[in-house]
Amino acid sequence: MIIPCIDLMDGKVVQLVQGREKVLEGKSLDEMLAMFSGFPQIQVIDLDAAIGRGSNGELVAYLARHAGIRAGGGVRTVERARELVKQGAFRIIVGTAAFSAQGPNHALLQDLADAVGPERLTLALDSMHGKIVVKGWREATNYTALEMIQQLEQYCGGFLCTYVDKEGMMQGTDIDWFTSLKNATSRELIAAGGITTMEDVRALHTKNIHCAIGMSIYTGRLDLSELRQINQETQEQPQ
């Protein structure tokens, strides 16, 4: 499945390189919803909430009312997760709160799973230089996604794994890394970061790895009609 991305910062739709440098702004929310019509789900990340400097909660709620969204960014409490589910979010993405200095935050993850159901949770294993990064990708942990993924399966329905080294740079991605993660889990895997060409998309698609795509769509590098067609082909495959 192809999942287009909407990242929010300062009340606007934006695209950043490696979560830091803003390189473009998107259209209004209604225009973005129209642009992504026909896609069953949209990934929505509140970047301000992710780095702890504010919130775009009203915009997230608006998108949840008008589309099937996977919502993340600053989800660090059971209350926030429940609020997003109540607003209509299809999946809740948890990243920073999933980890402590000692490793997985098992107590909070169990509370989140109990509150909204593990099938509604997607855990973010965003990685840079081989290590999981948190707090808007500004802090590195001491562990890798491959080390963590099986420990965390019990709490979630899937994993969002961003290859931050190439995120937003349109220089290709690491298909082998995503493949190793997919082979390590029975849960759904969503790849993000550096997905640039239809060859990237199809390489991941053939391995049953979902693609969350931002920059390559916003710059016109990838054609939305072709991406919709891949989703259509997936839906038409016999179960």
Q: Strand pairing partners for 127?
A: 132, 163
Q: Which one of the listed residues 7, 46, 48, 200 is annotated catalytic?
A: 7
- Whole-number Å distance between alpha carbons of 215 and 96: 23
- Which residues, including other chains, have CB under 8 Å from residue 69's CB and lie 6 or more apart? 41, 42, 43, 44, 60, 63, 88, 89, 90, 91
Task: Tell me which of 46, 48, 126, 200 is the catalytic residue.
Answer: 126
HEC string of 187-213 equals CEEEEECCCCCHHHHHHHHCCCCEEEE
> Inter-axis angle of helices 175-184 and 145-152, to 10 degrees?
30
Six-digit token string for 170: 């349109």
Q: Is 30 a catalytic residue?
A: no
| 10 is known as an active-site residue | no
Residue numbers annotated as active site: 7, 126
